[in-house]
């Protein structure tokens, strides 16, 4: 049982209105002011703040409990903990998919991936991110950024879907959803085989640091998308030796893989600091879904305590994830308790880069910056939504209405168990989603169901695209 360390006393209230500075200027300063303003307008570079560099980091299949900043005791994550300490830690940070590719599609587009039929992993009908979608690197490139990606793509492996065709100026990594950590086959630099010799997570750390060095004059955007700690469970002997005391073989390997990712993040952050870029670099971190913890279905040794459920479920354990935003020049360190989702990181990055987020009609994420500075109070979203086959969910305030994979209850791994009936939980008092209040509160169920139905109207069938290609005719989904 991992103890959570969200003690009330360590929080500061980010919804407190931002303190406004009241400047009293001496009379002589008043006389000088027109001269200073004229000087500033003659040299606009002095007046305009530099665009921040942007580093978006994604971990893969991490357990909610498996980071030091959530109280993990058996796996040290000092570099992630330092990142958490440098910025804002979200206690209700979500991803829009309980699975790898859907979450990454939502992050890259800033939209619920169901809007363009990307409900499941790539492959099959309409596989890959539809070319109708504009990506975060497309938008940041247009805003003057050097863009690069290191890691797992998982948004299509056709030539026209390659990261270099989807907004990235540089790419080092692999195109699929999982990869050996020791075999180079399939690891590419650009479109060519990389002939990589290092353990893959170490190689990603090295390449990320090298990208930052190459583009130190900025502004740069780097998408560092790990496949750690996704299967196959491969770790280096040296790191495994550090965890000889962990009896469970899978957990020991998982721990060694987590440490490798933490070290890689440490390496790129050390490079950023050494170049003097730490203050004006926006860094975000999420896991792409919850830890796989359903026996017989998907397991990697991760722990999602205190959440119930797993990767591949719409329970909290599938979609609530470690979630960090750090930008020392702009954001005070703290804890943010309102629900937010990875779609917001897209809008937030654009806003930080000076892009007018409101001008992008299709964007569904919210720019979190005013909420994190205290300029705006309250919740960024009225509600958050999920659809993953027949599994569905909505979170509005503390309420959650959910239909989830029955395997999460039976834990047998047997096929064709279907999904549960709609269950209603109050997450403020029941984060583990144990006490179903649906029968006791039919009006609340009706209200949330209507909200979910309204959201679902704009969704496409899995595999369908907005230009009408692929997929089947829009299917009616079961409402939560």
Pairwise CA distance, residues 189 & 194, whole Å: 5
By CB under 5 A, is residue 96 in contact with Ca ion? no
Do the beta carbons of residue 218 and residue 55 sit within 8 Å?
no
Q: Smallest distance from the beta carbon of 391 to Ca ion, in angstroms? A: 16
Q: Smallest distance from the beta carbon of 288 to Ca ion, in angstroms? A: 4
Q: Which residues, numbered 270-289, are part of the site for Ca ion (CB under 5 A)?
A: 288-289
By CB under 5 A, is residue 100 in contact with Ca ion? yes
Do the beta carbons of residue 221 and residue 205 sit within 8 Å?
no
Q: What are phi and psi of 34, to 5 degrees?
A: -60, -35
Catalytic pick from 154, 179, 346, 381?
A: 154
* Residue 179 a catalytic site member: no
Enumerate residues 6+ apart whose C-beta is below 8 A from 470: 117, 125, 126, 130, 463, 464
Catalytic pick from 70, 72, 79, 100?
A: 100
Strand partners, 282: 54
- Judged by CB under 5 A, the stretch of 5-13, 100-108, 330-338, 429-437 that binds Ca ion is 100-108
Do the beta carbons of residue 165 and residue 157 sit within 8 Å?
no
Closer Cβ to Ca ion, 319 or 350, answer by number: 319
CA angle 71, 75, 76 (to 5 degrees): 80
Q: Smallest distance from the beta carbon of 345 to Ca ion, in angstroms? A: 16
Pairwise CA distance, residues 190 & 185, whole Å: 14
By CB under 5 A, is residue 66 in contact with Ca ion? no
Q: Smallest distance from the beta carbon of 98 to Ca ion, in angstroms? A: 9
Q: What is the CA 219 to chain-centroid distance, rounded?
A: 21
Do the beta carbons of residue 141 and residue 219 sit within 8 Å?
no
Instruction: Out of 61, 66, 133, 170, name the contact with Ca ion by CB under 5 A.
Output: 61
Element (H or E) spanning 271, and its range?
A: helix 249-274
Specify the 3-state DSSP secondary structure of 203. helix
What does the DSSP 8-state code read for residue 164? G
Closer Cβ to Ca ion, 169 or 462, answer by number: 462
Closer Cβ to Ca ion, 61 or 344, answer by number: 61
Do the beta carbons of residue 222 and residue 149 sit within 8 Å?
yes
Pairwise CA distance, residues 23 & 28, whole Å: 14
- Judged by CB under 5 A, the stretch of 46-54, 61-69, 114-122, 381-389 that binds Ca ion is 61-69
Closer Cβ to Ca ion, 100 or 233, answer by number: 100
Q: Smallest distance from the beta carbon of 86 to Ca ion, in angstroms? A: 25
Closer Cβ to Ca ion, 151 or 365, answer by number: 151
Enumerate residues 6+ apart whose C-beta is below 8 A from 13: none
Q: What is the CA 355 to chain-centroid distance, rounded?
A: 20
Instruction: Out of 57, 58, 59, 60, name the contact with Ca ion by CB under 5 A.
Output: 60
Pairwise CA distance, residues 152 & 10, whole Å: 35
Closest CB to Ca ion belongs to which residue? Answer: 100
Q: Smallest distance from the beta carbon of 59 to Ca ion, in angstroms? A: 8
Binding letters toward Ca ion, positions 283-322, x by CB under 5 A: -----xx---------------------------------
Closer Cβ to Ca ion, 284 or 367, answer by number: 284
* Residue 72 a catalytic site member: no
- Judged by CB under 5 A, the stretch of 53-61, 88-96, 257-265, 328-336 that binds Ca ion is 53-61
Which residues of this protein are in contact with Ca ion, per CB under 5 A? 60-61, 100, 288-289
Which of the residues are catalytic? 100, 154
């Amino acid at each position: 049982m991992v103890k959570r360390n969200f003690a009330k006393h360590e929080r500061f209230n980010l919804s407190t209105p931002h303190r406004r500075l009241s400047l009293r200027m001496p009379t002589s300063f008043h006389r000088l002011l027109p001269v200073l303003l004229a000087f500033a307008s003659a040299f606009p570079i002095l007046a305009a703040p530099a665009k921040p560099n942007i580093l978006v980091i994604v971990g893969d299949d991490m357990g909610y409990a498996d980071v030091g900043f959530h109280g993990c005791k058996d796996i040290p994550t000092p570099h992630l903990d330092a990142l958490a300490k440098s910025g804002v830690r979200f206690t209700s940070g979500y991803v829009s998919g309980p699975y790898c590719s859907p979450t990454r599609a939502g992050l890259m587009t800033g939209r619920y991936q169901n809007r363009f039929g990307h409900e499941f992993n790539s492959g099959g009908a309409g596989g890959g991110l539809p070319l109708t979608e504009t990506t975060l690197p497309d938008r940041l490139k247009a805003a003057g950024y050097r863009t690069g990606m290191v890691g797992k793509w998982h948004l299509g492996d056709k030539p026209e879907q390659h990261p270099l065709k989807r907004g990235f100026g540089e790419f080092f990594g692999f195109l699929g959803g999982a990869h050996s950590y020791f075999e180079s086959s399939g690891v590419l630099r650009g479109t060519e085989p990389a002939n990589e010799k290092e353990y893959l997570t170490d190689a990603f750390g090295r390449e990320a640091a090298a990208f930052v060095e190459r583009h130190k004059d900025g502004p740069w955007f780097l998408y560092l998308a790990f496949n750690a700690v996704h299967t196959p469970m491969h770790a280096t002997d040296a790191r495994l030796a550090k965890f000889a005391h962990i009896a469970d073989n899978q957990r020991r390997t998982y721990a060694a893989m987590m440490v490798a990712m933490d070290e890689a993040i440490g390496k790129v952050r050390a490079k950023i600091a050494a170049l003097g870029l730490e203050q004006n670099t926006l860094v975000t971190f999420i896991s792409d879904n919850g830890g796989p913890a359903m026996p017989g279905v998907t397991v990697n040794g991760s722990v999602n305590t205190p959440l119930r459920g797993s990767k591949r479920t719409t329970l909290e354990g599938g979609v609530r994830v470690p979630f960090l935003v750090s930008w020392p020049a702009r954001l005070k360190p703290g804890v943010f308790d309102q629900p937010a989702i990875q779609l917001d990181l897209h809008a937030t990055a654009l806003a930080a880069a000076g892009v007018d987020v409101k001008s992008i009609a299709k964007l569904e994420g919210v720019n979190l910056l005013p909420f994190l500075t205290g300029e705006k109070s309250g919740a960024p979203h009225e509600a958050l939504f999920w659809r993953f086959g027949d599994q569905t969910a909505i979170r509005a305030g503390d309420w959650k209405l959910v239909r989830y994979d029955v395997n999460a209850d039976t834990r047998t791994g047997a096929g064709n168990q279907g999904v549960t009936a709609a269950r209603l939980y109050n997450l403020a008092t029941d984060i583990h989603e144990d006490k179903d209040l649906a029968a006791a509160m039919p009006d609340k169920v009706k209200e949330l169901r209507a909200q979910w139905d309204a959201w679902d109207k704009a969704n496409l069938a899995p595999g369908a695209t907005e230009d009408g290609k692929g997929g089947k005719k829009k299917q009616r989904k079961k409402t939560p």
